[in-house]
Amino acid sequence: MTKNEIADVLEEIGTLLELKGENPFKVRAYQAGARALEAIEDAELTRLIAEEQLKTVKGIGDALSQKITELHTTGKLEFFEKLKASIEPGLAEMLQIPGLGPKKIRALHDKLGIASIAALTKACHDGTVAALDGFGEKTQEKILAGIKNREAYGKRHLWWDAWEIATPIVAGLRQLPGVSQAESAGSLRRGLETVGDLDFIVAAGDVAPVVAWFTGQPHVKEVTASGETKASVRFESGLQADLRIVPEEQFAFALHHFTGSKDHNVQLRQRALGRGLSLSEWGLVPAEGEGTAKEKAEALKSAKGGKLKIKNETELFAALGLHFIPPELREGLGEIEAAEKGELPRLVELGDLRGAFHNHTTASDGRNTLAEMTAAAEALGWEYLGIADHSKSSFQANGLSEERLLKQVAEIHALNASKKFKTHVFTGVECDILPDGRLDYEDAVLAKLDYVVASVHNAFTQDEATMTARIICAIEHPRTTMLGHLTGRLLLRREGYRVDAVKVIDAAIAHGVVIELNASPWRLDMDWRHWRKAAERGLVCSVNPDAHETAGLEQVRAGMNSARKGWLTKDNVLNTRTLAAVRKKLSR
């Protein structure tokens, strides 16, 4: 395990111990251990363990040192497994309610005997929670809202989580004997920000072994359907997956159909009918009783033997007089008309990215050092990396004072001068937009940076007009380069704050300010639904990983889904530009 993964386990142990009502010193020891781990580098951890010197690190005692060593060498920890098993499932489930921590859950359990979300819901409705010491009406309302959110979103999954599960499954399916093609379909393939279930399409002659492999995978909790040509399973995580197996000649049709979306499918089927053809998951055949005689004759002419021979989706679209429509665009939002006229955009691709802005380090709330983040960016082949740690008002995220910020700027200049890495590092900050719209540092401090990401991190409950004016005020600041996460939403967890997106977009265009597409799988903010129109009107996008650790840089992949769903081309995205071009833009 890496040190960040180990830190996650220690953090979770702390939470579970707190939930059990353990001694606060013990709880804090695990939290401190997690912090201490984050402050050292991976290579350093390996060395310390090899030399049995881990205990010499401040914040890591004897007991912790043993547990870290066990996790590092075996990837498992018996103590942790036992601890998890000892927690009442209902209590562990309550941890999933946003805004409800272990201490409060403990109090609810001890004083009201609550041990499940259902019991908690009832107690909130009765008002007994509000009457409890340290809770009150407001907390009770917040808990109820959290429960409702969990119910509304609980059935969907983040695209990133779904993708991580689906990727090895597709690889596994492709390796089975007799399988000629296998793909993910559905909302995952369309790059939607959340996914209801996974859909897999396989072309194979022999069905039984494919079904057997699929239903026999580890982590399958339940086989919900299993038949001649399909199977459905539910994994331990709660995610469900559908599998369909078709003969080779049907693969393109099945893949297209199950990729969807429904709206896109309905429109495309309509178009086929207009040409005397009937499109389905099985194939494209002349429609009976539809279209003019001439159209039918033409359709028949191209439909050899009653069924069009179509090898892939490109040929399927071509048979309907269309250019290939990338899956991300198949939302029934005008893509078919554009494909007919040859006006589909050439969408930006992951490989077009040459760097990324808005990344955190251990200076604020990140888990990897400046050097580690830069090394990771270099490994991705990036020409540049923008650092943007939190500003001083974000004290909960260890935001930087002026002195610490200027010290970091000096460190970055020294790192660039050392030529240790091929990747150039830009100095920046994620500067809080204060409730009145001012920025969190004096102009003289901001002037020392290459760029500024301005973001809202507090006073989320302002009304829409106030919030919109606040953000526009920050956009008007001459030092603002880009706007961070427009709405602050956390997918499946928390609604964004109320803001008039169109007014903010107008202001950004007018002041030459970039808006970020925050690529964190939890955010994907600004939402893809705004981008097409915004970019047409001249808004520039920056796909920002908002990475808090080295692995976070790769989450630009999730942001690229949204960029593509927003019809963005390479020209619309700032971080596809060369280092020289970015330097020039930032120096202005």
Residues in contact with ligand DGT by the rule CB under 6 A: 186-187, 195-197, 199, 257-258, 260-262, 265-266
- Position 194 contacts Zn ion (CB under 5 A): no
CB of 270 vs ligand DGT, minimal distance in Å: 11
DSSP string, 205-245: S--HHHHHHHHT-TTEEEEEEE-SSEEEEEETTS-EEEEEE
- Position 331 contacts Ca ion (CB under 5 A): no
CB of 243 vs ligand DGT, minimal distance in Å: 12
Near Zn ion by CB under 5 A: residue from 4, 361, 427, 455 = 455
Helix H segments across 39-95? Answer: 42-50, 62-74, 78-85, 89-94
If you ran DSSP here, which 8-state letter would residue 41 be given?
A: -
| Size of residue set near Ca ion by CB under 5 A | 5
- Position 372 contacts Ca ion (CB under 5 A): no
Region binding Ca ion by CB under 5 A among candidate stretches 51-59, 133-141, 185-193, 481-489: 185-193
- Position 186 contacts Ca ion (CB under 5 A): yes
Region binding Ca ion by CB under 5 A among candidate stretches 56-64, 187-195, 290-298, 531-539: 187-195
Task: Select the residue whose beta carbon is closest to Zn ion and give its number.
Answer: 455
CB of 387 vs Zn ion, minimal distance in Å: 14
**Closer residue to ligand DGT in complex, CB, 195/434:** 195
CB of 488 vs Zn ion, minimal distance in Å: 8
| Helix (H), strand (E), coil (C) string for 396-426 | HHCCECHHHHHHHHHHHHHHHHHCCCCCEEE
- Name the nearest CA neighbour of 35 among 17, 14, 21, 20: 14
**Closer residue to ligand DGT in complex, CB, 104/256:** 256
User: What distance in Å separates the CA atoms of residue 218 and residue 304, rounded to the nearest whole number?
Assistant: 44
User: What distance in Å separates the CA atoms of residue 141 and residue 328, rounded to the nearest whole number?
Assistant: 38
- Name the nearest CA neighbour of 500 among 508, 492, 510, 512: 508
Among Ca ion, Zn ion, ligand DGT, none, partner that 455 touches (CB below 5 to 8 angstroms by kind)? Zn ion
x/- track of binding to Ca ion for residues 207-246 (CB under 5 A): -----------------------------------x----
User: What distance in Å separates the CA atoms of residue 263 and residue 245, rounded to the nearest whole number?
Assistant: 24
Q: Binding to Ca ion (CB under 5 A): which residues in 241-260?
A: 242
- Position 183 contacts Ca ion (CB under 5 A): no
User: What distance in Å separates the CA atoms of residue 367 and residue 361, rounded to the nearest whole number?
Assistant: 6
Whether the CB-CB separation of 471 and 446 falls below 8 Å is answered with: no
**Closer residue to Ca ion in complex, CB, 188/316:** 188
DSSP string, 507-573: HHHHTT-EEEEE--TTT-BS-HHHHHHHHHTT--EEEE--BSSGGGGGGHHHHHHHHHHTT-BGGGB
CB of 317 vs Ca ion, minimal distance in Å: 21
What are the residues binding Ca ion (CB under 5 A)? 186-187, 197, 199, 242
| Residue ranges in contact with Zn ion by CB under 5 A | 455
